[in-house]
A = this chain, B = another copy of it.
Amino acid sequence: MENTLFTINNVWMMMCTALVFLMHLGFSLLEIGLTRQKNTINILFKNVFILSVGVVLYALVGFNLMYPGSFIYGILPDHFFSLFGLTVPENGLTSEYNVGYTYWTDFLFQGMFAATAATIVSGAVAERVKLGSFMIFTIFYVGLVYPITGSWKWGGGWLNDLGFYDFAGSTLVHSVGGWAAFIAVWLLGARIGKFNKDGSVGAIPGHSIPLATAGVLILWLGWFGFNGGSVLSADPGKTSLVLVTTCLAAASGGLSALLVSLFRNKQYDLSMFLNGLLGGLVGITAGADMMSVTDSIVIGIIAGILIVLGVGFVDKLKLDDPVGAIPVHLICGIWGTLAVGIFGEMASLEQLGKQAIGVVAIAAFCITFAFIILIILKKTVGIRVSEEEEQEGLDIHEHGMDAYPDFRLNQH
């Protein structure tokens, strides 16, 4: 009987893994939709690369690094100085290993998460990052930074001991990606034409809002697995609650961003609506397993407001974030993490303090490492393409092809 329950838990986790996998399609479509046509191949390439190299690296290094059992000085996983592949522990295929799933499911589910963190950066740096440098950055970020910060909480490290809570990764995944996006965008500088000398902000519209919208709906679907799988079992009450809080936060995040932007700009702004949905999803992620219906709706509403304000704020800072990765993943990631101390079962000033410590600690680590990797790349091979390449598009320069080479207008 235990075996049967184990089987069903494992099935649920595998289906959730498949849904998180699908998020990579969602990110790809969202990012190409919101950027210019001339950089489409480049963005698709980056996303497929991140997914592929992410899975392989997580097998070679990340998984063992992240779930280590013990730590050096409480911070660095003790396996840090050795590389390894995957080896199934003796009980790795039974419920003794983990009541929810096998060793293999564990690896694949977590591996999909690792790749997500790097994908967040991809959108922010789009349209001007040098491909080779970004690929190197990805390798370090997915292979080292994500597993180390992840181990602090999910690997049983010091943040876990402290009582920091992050159910499915508002901080451990989204802010980790968000901070790197922030640093990268700052070091890269804005795209030509974004911030003009007269102080005006140029709009650089994307090339396919249908694909962007499809991407957001696919991401929402993927979140069924991202949050639903983070229960780490198929426990009926918990998994189904998580799906409800996730969907309600998404919906109310979208509606709130829509209303705020409608009030400000007198237009039904689809982009804000979509980013509000994503903000609600990121916002609920840290506490999706413990919020009430009302809590989720309120968390979503605030996330939606933060999106509208955040997009303006990022512009104010003269940071050029083509897809809104910083408001969505960083700002709402922080918001969601803090919300665990404000709403739901764990709400208390003490918990809020612990949440803040987690946010700050991971911010410090990610900022530092992202800065170090990127500044080294900047000073050596460079991180930005030439002005000519930026103007003509990365597709033709880095990949020698167009995204729609045979596209024609209606001829009949």
Complex interface bits, A1-28 against B, C-beta within 8 A gives 1, otherwise 0: 1011111111110110111011011001
Contact A28 B214 (CB under 8 A): yes
Residues of the B chain whose Cβ atoms lie less than 8 Å from the Cβ of A408 = 37-38, 207, 409
The closest CB in chain B to the CB of A407 belongs to B207
Residues of the B chain whose Cβ atoms lie less than 8 Å from the Cβ of A396 = 412
Contact A406 B251 (CB under 8 A): no
Contact A236 B7 (CB under 8 A): yes
Q: How far is the CA of A279 from the CA of B22 in the complex (A)?
A: 20
Complex interface bits, A79-96 against B, C-beta within 8 A gives 1, otherwise 0: 000000110000001000
Assuming the contacts A11-B11, A28-B217, A55-B247, asked whether A410 and B401 have C-beta atoms less than 8 A apart, the reply is no
A1 to chain B, nearest CB (A): 6
A302 at the interface (CB under 8 A from B): no
Contact A409 B409 (CB under 8 A): yes
Assuming the contacts A213-B44, A403-B209, A411-B402, asked whether A102 and B4 have C-beta atoms less than 8 A apart, the reply is no
Q: Which of A103-111, A160-168, A181-189, A357-365 contacts B (4 or more CB under 8 A)?
A: A103-111
- Report which of B9, B40, B252, B297 forms a contact with A210, defined as CB distance below 8 A: B40
- How many protomers of this protein does the assembly include? 3
- Report which of B209, B240, B269, B411 forms a contact with A14, defined as CB distance below 8 A: B240
A52 to chain B, nearest CB (A): 4
- Report which of B54, B86, B274 forms a contact with A48, defined as CB distance below 8 A: B274
Q: How far is the CA of A264 from the CA of B321 in the complex (A)?
A: 34
Contact B410 A48 (CB under 8 A): no
Q: How far is the CA of A59 from the CA of B298 in the complex (A)?
A: 14
A263 at the interface (CB under 8 A from B): no
Contact A25 B218 (CB under 8 A): yes
A250 at the interface (CB under 8 A from B): yes
Residues of the B chain whose Cβ atoms lie less than 8 Å from the Cβ of A270 = 41, 44-45, 48, 399, 401
Q: How far is the CA of A250 from the CA of B111 in the complex (A)?
A: 14
Residues of the B chain whose Cβ atoms lie less than 8 Å from the Cβ of A241 = 102, 104
A389 at the interface (CB under 8 A from B): no
Main DSSP-derived SS at the A contact region: helix
Contact B18 A224 (CB under 8 A): yes
Interface size on A, residues (CB 8 A): 112
Q: How far is the CA of A3 from the CA of B237 in the complex (A)?
A: 11
Residues of the B chain whose Cβ atoms lie less than 8 Å from the Cβ of A210 = 29, 32, 40, 44, 208, 211, 403-404
Residues of the B chain whose Cβ atoms lie less than 8 Å from the Cβ of A217 = 22, 24-25, 28, 48
A377 at the interface (CB under 8 A from B): no
Assuming the contacts A85-B293, A206-B406, A270-B48, asked whether A4 and B8 have C-beta atoms less than 8 A apart, the reply is yes
A179 at the interface (CB under 8 A from B): no
The 9 closest A-B pairs by CB, nearest first: A205-B405, A104-B240, A93-B237, A52-B251, A207-B406, A10-B236, A105-B240, A25-B217, A55-B251
CB<8 Å pairs between A and B, sample of 26 = A11-B12, A14-B239, A14-B240, A22-B217, A22-B221, A25-B214, A25-B218, A37-B406, A41-B209, A45-B268, A45-B270, A48-B254, A48-B270, A49-B258, A52-B273, A55-B247, A85-B294, A93-B236, A101-B236, A108-B240, A131-B268, A205-B401, A207-B405, A209-B401, A210-B404, A269-B400
Residue positions of A touching B, CB distance < 8 A: 1, 3-12, 14-15, 17-19, 21-22, 24-25, 28-29, 32, 36-38, 40-41, 44-45, 48-49, 51-56, 59, 85-86, 93, 101-105, 107-108, 111, 131, 205-211, 213-214, 216-218, 220-221, 224, 228, 234-237, 239-241, 243-244, 247-248, 250-252, 254-255, 258, 265, 267-271, 273-274, 277, 293-294, 297, 396, 398-412
Given A51-B251, A105-B236, A206-B405, 15 more A-B residue pairs with CB atoms under 8 Å apart are: A4-B5, A11-B234, A18-B19, A22-B217, A37-B406, A53-B255, A54-B251, A59-B293, A93-B237, A93-B240, A102-B236, A108-B240, A108-B244, A108-B247, A209-B402
